[in-house]
Amino acid sequence: MTSIQSAPVAPAPPVTAPVPPGLNLLRLKLRLQAAVSTEWAFGAAWRLFTTPRRLPEKHWEAAALAGARQFFVPMPAGQVAAYEWNRAGSRTVLLVHGWEHRASFWGVLAQALVAAGFRVVALDAPAHGASYGSRLTLPAYGRAVQAVADTLGEVYAVVAHSLGGATTVGVPVRFNEATGGQLPRLVLLAVPGSTPAVARRFAEMLRLPPAVVARMKRHIREQHGRDAESFSLTHAGPAFPAGRALLLHDEQDASIPFREARDIAAGWPSLDFRATTGLGHNQIMRDPAVLAQIVAFLAE
């Protein structure tokens, strides 16, 4: 049974994930590479960190997109695939998915929003779905979301899950600049509070040596002119120009610890923070009670 509660609530006990097949061999390989060259190990680790798997299509995905119009937005490196439902809808809601998801994962929410009269647009991130590329970073995702947003005209709301929220708010993506630059509504689902914490969990999983982790941090500064922490929602969230913002996060989220949601809410006084139980990281996107909360929040 699921429930939506008002924060604060007690954090759930930590969840121990099983060790993926081949992980011990990968750890050994990276440790040997690091013993020879920090740069060699960094290159291998960074490729892993920025390369999503192209997961097989699930049986329900085709039906999720059946009522959508597919279109493509050109980028310097290729095309971003996007999907539109209810083109005649009175207000536009942009859906931004997480790591190794795609636009079709929003199917049930898209249907609920269309039923409420909204125009709905979702995109496939670079290296996901029908979009170009094989690797993805936060800034690259931000550029893709920006390109799609710029084609839509006035955007009323964004609903973003996990990496999609870190991208939208942390990069950040700019909306409605011709009319003042404010996004009237923002909904965040299961988003990370700390970008360095995401990298730290990756490094701990692979047992990367400190020198390799330090090299990753330096690479981010060199490539983007800013530290990883500057992308964090605990840092960027309060400054994001949203008229109203809603955050939902599950106590049993095994991918993004619940405490990160509490950290975001603690530094963002105007944020409407609600906890769920029993949904984990992904089911929160399609739970009927959560969908009803999102639709009601956007319709207010």
DSSP of 40-78, one letter per residue? Answer: HHHHHHHHHHT----PPPPTTHHHHHTTSEEEEEEETTE
How many other β-carbons are positioned within 10 Å of the β-carbon of residue 219?
14
What residue has token string 């990968």?
26
The mean per-residue pLDDT over the stretch 61-79 comes to: 96
> Is residue 19 packed enough to be buried (19+ CB in 10 Å), middle (13-18) or exposed (0-12)?
exposed
The mean per-residue pLDDT over the stretch 215-233 comes to: 94
d(CA 20, CA 138): 24
The mean per-residue pLDDT over the stretch 66-73 comes to: 96
Q: How confident is the model at residue 20 (pLDDT cuts 50, 70, 90)?
A: low
Residue 225: pLDDT above 60?
yes
pTM of structure: 0.91
Q: How confident is the model at residue 19 (pLDDT cuts 50, 70, 90)?
A: low
Q: Which residues contact 186 (CB under 8 A, 6 or more apart)?
A: 157, 158, 160, 168, 169, 240, 242, 244, 245, 246
How many other β-carbons are positioned within 10 Å of the β-carbon of residue 143?
18
Domain boundaries, the chain: 73-192+226-299
152-161 as b/e, with b when 16 or more CB fall inside 10 Å? beebbbbbbb
From the candidate CATH numbers 2.40.30.10, 3.40.50.2300, 1.10.3720.10, 3.40.50.1820, the one assigned to the domain spanning 73-192+226-299: 3.40.50.1820
Residue 3: pLDDT above 90?
no
The mean per-residue pLDDT over the stretch 164-172 comes to: 98
- Read off φ and ψ for residue 281, nearest 5 degrees: -85, -35
- CA-nearest of 79, 193, 53 to 136 is 53
Residue 2: pLDDT above 70?
no
Q: How confident is the model at residue 6 (pLDDT cuts 50, 70, 90)?
A: very low
d(CA 163, CA 142): 10
Residue 15: pLDDT above 50?
no
The mean per-residue pLDDT over the stretch 96-107 comes to: 97
Report pLDDT for 300.
Answer: 87
Of 21-30, 95-104, 219-228, the poorest mean pLDDT is in 21-30
Residue 142: pLDDT above 90?
yes
In the chain, pLDDT over 90 holds for what percent of residues? 91
Report pLDDT for 79.
Answer: 98
The mean per-residue pLDDT over the stretch 204-211 comes to: 94
Residue 276: pLDDT above 50?
yes
Report pLDDT for 13.
Answer: 38
Counted residue by residue, the chain has a size of 300
Two tokens, residue 62: 């085709």
